[in-house]
Amino acid sequence: MGGIPDSHPRQTSLLARQSLVDAAAEGLLADSAMIAHGRGEAFDYLLGETTSESAMDAIRQAAARLLAAERPVISVNGNTVVLAGKELIRVAAVIGCPIEVNLYYRTPERVSGLLDRLSQQRDAVASEPAPGGWEGDWQEAVGSVVLLGDAADHNLPGLEGPRAKCCREGIGEADVILVPLEDGDRCEALVATGKQVLVVDLNPLSRTAMTATVTIVDEVSRAASELLGEIVSGDCELSEWNNAAALNAALEIISDAAV
Amino acid sequence: MGGIPDSHPRQTSLLARQSLVDAAAEGLLADSAMIAHGRGEAFDYLLGETTSESAMDAIRQAAARLLAAERPVISVNGNTVVLAGKELIRVAAVIGCPIEVNLYYRTPERVSGLLDRLSQQRDAVASEPAPGGWEGDWQEAVGSVVLLGDAADHNLPGLEGPRAKCCREGIGEADVILVPLEDGDRCEALVATGKQVLVVDLNPLSRTAMTATVTIVDEVSRAASELLGEIVSGDCELSEWNNAAALNAALEIISDAAV
């Protein structure tokens, strides 16, 4: 994407779009992935393309719950890997949790393609500096991040077909799941198992946003960066969480943008 | 798309999406077409997926201006052909104007692919009944709709490269252009030529929406159906038009949806 100058005000947005176009050409994304991204772009535009105060509260809450979890897992789909894969590998390295490729439109080709991409991202992250403030052996921490998804040996109750499939070692036995960009049916099914479900969704009116335990109404790569910072600092505190209030705060921003 | 039952509440939206996925697989759409559609879906969702009163006012005004034009033309891109091609052929047949395939990301393959698709749509429309209330030889009227775009022998001033290209016989000499789903730069360039530019855009904050002579804030296939009805009835009256007021009305709907 040599055509986008560094000074372009929408450079981040245009580069993200180009990454998805390239990934789609490589066969990593479902047909509807680009449409989903476009919907997100529209909501992000109305949200001012910035992480709001209420989104930061949700990010802190998600960080606290991931840190307090016994078996946390990060579940990723194609768009998440393309847009925020490296940042989520850093999060997984700091928490010490696995990442599971879990797709709504599951095909063996896309799962293995995304695992390959994550593996390359993991190598890249391992060779980069540790996040500021983090202490320990970064290469080892990153190299220890387990990538799951190939052997889907578990079914989520309440779902049918390929959409139900997941890994026992990952989502199956997790108590807290960070699952950006999740579908509504699956979010409901995960919540119904009693797990805590932390989502990232730009549409505060989506079923996913309204069903999750903690909804971060933010763009996934911005949210992942902020989440990493909170997890490394460890300042976040577990507390009662009013998710409806967080959604209302996002709706107010959209409403203000539109008048 | 055998998987979507007739009773599904989002059937129209899902069928539109599938038409675009199919057209993309056929190479008829630019890479960013699906993302653009997704953005539209988000705004349509906030607009209640219905044609608002203020959109109907804009549609009536567009109808009046197309009927009063000396050389009207309908300019279409890939998404417009896929989502509303047949309806716009009906509009062109009733008005007696050409349709020009004009693409922001112009390639000879996509132009000729879309002209083929329009030609098939024209055959289909010719074999269907005339719109209720229309009198005359429908087959002849539809068969007379000229499809332009192949020979781009004119350049729009103020634009460079393939984006500037259009047909003299179509956009080049037109006084009124209906151009759904247009890019902001091109909309500005068209307006700068002194032509009346009638657009359909679901984002009332887009540069296209804010630049056009008349902006219909509505989904393109719904807008095209309503436009056909207004043009056939001929009830619409040419008047002064406050486009900013129309955009504000759409923003109010979005704002109300978000609180």
H-state helical runs in chain B: 11-25, 33-46, 53-68, 78-95, 108-126, 138-143, 184-192, 207-211, 220-233, 243-257
Q: Which residue has the tokens 């095209």?
A: B224
**Mean pLDDT value across residues B174-198:** 94
Cβ within 8 Å, pair A38-B38: yes
Mean pLDDT is highest, among A3-17, A200-214, B56-70, for B56-70
Q: How does pLDDT run across B76-120, given as a tens digit for each residue? A: 999 999 999 999 999 999 999 999 999 988 999 999 999 999 999
Distance from CA of A252 to the nearest CA of B (A): 6
pTM metric for this prediction: 0.83
Residue A160 CA: distances (Å) to CA of A157, A169, A252: 8, 20, 36
- As a whole-number percent, the residues of chain B with pLDDT over 90 amount to 76
Ranking B102-106, B166-170, B210-214 by mean pLDDT, the lowest is: B102-106
Whether residue A258 is predicted with pLDDT greater than 80 in this model: the reply is no
Q: Give how far B258 is from chain A: nearest CA, Å.
A: 5
Q: Mind telling me how many Å the CA of A148 is from chain B's nearest CA?
A: 29
Residues contacting residue B81 through CB under 8 Å, at least 6 positions apart? B28, B101, B114, B117, B118, B121
Q: Which of A34, A252, A259 is facing B35, going by the closest CB pair?
A: A34
- Of the partner residues A38, A46, A252, the one whose CB lies closest to the CB of residue B259: A252
> What confidence score (pLDDT) does residue A107 get?
92
Phi, psi for A158 (deg, rounded to 5): 95, -5
User: CA angle at residue B25 from A201 to B185, to 5 degrees?
Assistant: 65
**Terminal CA-CA length for chain B:** 35
Q: Which residues of A touch B8 (CB under 8 A)?
A: none
Calculate the average pLDDT of chain A.
92
Chain A residues whose CB is inside 8 A of the B251 CB are 258-259
Q: How far is the C-alpha of B132 from the C-alpha of B234, rounded, in Å?
A: 13
Q: Which residues of B touch A (CB under 8 A)?
A: 17, 20-21, 24, 31-32, 34-43, 45-46, 203, 205, 251-252, 254-256, 258-259
Say what percent of chain A tops pLDDT 90: 76
Given this model, what pLDDT does residue B161 score?
A: 87
Residue B125 CB-density burial (10 A; 0-12 exposed, 13-18 middle, 19+ buried): buried
Question: Taking CA A207 as the corner, what is the angle to CA A60 and CA B221, rounded to the nearest 5 degrees?
Answer: 125
| Predicted pLDDT at B1 | 37
**Given this model, what pLDDT does residue A8 score?**
61
Q: Give the pLDDT band of residue A1 (cuts 50, 70, 90).
A: very low
Look at residue B242 and tell me whether its pLDDT is greater than 60.
Answer: yes
Cα A136 to the center of its chain, rounded Å:
25
Please, are residues B31 and A31 in contact by the beta-carbon 8 Å criterion? Answer: no
Mean pLDDT score of chain B: 92
What integer is the mean pLDDT of B2-20?
Answer: 74
Phi, psi of B214 (to 5 degrees): -130, 125
A189-248 pLDDT, tens digit each = 999 999 999 999 999 988 899 999 999 999 999 999 999 999 999 888 899 999 999 998
pLDDT at site A206: 87
ipTM, two decimals: 0.72
The whole-number average pLDDT for the span A97-108 is 94
Residue of B19, B20, B31, B83 best to disrupt the A interface, most CBs of A under 10 A: B31
CB A21 to CB B40 under 8 A? no
For position A3, what pLDDT does the model report?
57
Interchain CB distance below 8 Å, A42 and B37: no
The answer to whether the Cβ–Cβ distance between A35 and B38 falls below 8 Å is yes
pLDDT tens sequence across A168-188: 999 999 999 999 998 888 999
Average of pLDDT values for B68-73? 98
HSE-CB of A253 using CA atoms within 13 angstroms = 23
CB contact under 8 A, B38 and A41: yes
- CA distances to A213, B80, B183 from B206, in Å: 34, 17, 9
B255 and A258 within 8 Å at the Cβ level: the answer is yes
Cβ within 8 Å, pair B39-A34:
no
Task: Check A17 against B32: CB less than 8 A apart.
Answer: yes
Q: If phi over 0 gives left and psi between -120 and 50 gives alpha, with beta otherwise, what is residue B181? A: left
Pairing of strands B196-200, B176-178: parallel
A21: chain B residues, CB-CB within 8 Å:
31-32
Q: Which of A17, A42, A255 sits opposite B43 (nearest CB)?
A: A42
Neighbour-count burial for B209-224, b at 16+ CB within 10 Å, e otherwise: bbbbbbbbbbbbbbbb
Residues from chain A contacting residue B255 (CB–CB below 8 Å): 254-256, 258-259
Give the other-Cβ count within 10 Å of A191's Cβ.
17
